[in-house]
Amino acid sequence: MLEPSLNEPVQEHRLYTTSAEYVYSTLRREIITKQLTSGTRLPEVAIATRLKVSRTPVREALRRLASEGLVLIIPNSGARVAAPRRKEMEDAYVVREELECLAARLACANVTEKHLRRLEECVADEERAFGERNLEAYLEINEAFHRIIADASGNRVLREYVENILARTNVYIVFYDPFYVVESNPSVQEHRLIIEALRARDAQEAVERMRSHIRLSKGSLSEGELKAL
């Protein structure tokens, strides 16, 4: 996909509460849809001119994107779209697997009908987002699915750790996942199997389903390509 010109005007930002939110949302969407690719420089002046804002909200938006791992800010050099290394991604998935398997096991003792309904809704929304090739919505829905399970674990500390690792691995999906070229999304069926295990309160099955899901997710990223700087 072609990169947008940093001098090309974009849609007005009337719908956003602040200029910083507008800049953040615009740049985040361009990174997620690969209009801005790994290593692309993000000069504040050019972005401010294109989006018709001052440099202050641009700076704030870039810091927020950097905190999410989507942007790298280099002192005395400026900002550029991040280029996470494959080893970094693999290490994060090792941690995520252990955390989410623990969450699934604990959730079997605490999951409620409300949790299960919300999980089913997420699967339906996920299927729709994939059909529309809306990666931004897909990431939010996928993250919500896993957050619900962490919440059902009843362990607040674990929930916070899961939320943190989800935000981190979502970054890798943006850069590695072949989302726009695959025809089917196995994640939907994997999520349904996890729900079935939770509904049956089968802790062993829930852990096995979650472990398989995380490993398959990691495998799909390993097949993706990250453009070299």
- 19-81 under CATH 1.10.10.10, yes or no: yes
Confidence of residue 212 (pLDDT cuts 50, 70, 90): very high
| Residue with the larger pLDDT of the pair 186 and 222 | 186
The predicted model scores a pTM of 0.78
Please say whether the beta carbons of 118 and 107 come within 8 A. Answer: no
pLDDT tier for residue 32 given thresholds of 50, 70 and 90: confident
Q: What's the confidence (pLDDT) of residue 86?
A: 84
Assign domain 86-222 to a CATH class.
mainly alpha
| Spatial separation of the C-alpha atoms in residues 153 and 108, rounded to whole Å | 8
Q: What is the pLDDT of residues 33-67, one digit of tens each?
A: 888 988 999 999 999 999 999 999 999 999 999 98
Q: What is the pLDDT of residue 224?
A: 52
Domain ranges of the chain: 19-81, 86-222
Residue 16 has pLDDT above 90, yes or no: no
In the predicted structure, residue 197 carries a pLDDT above the cut 50:
yes
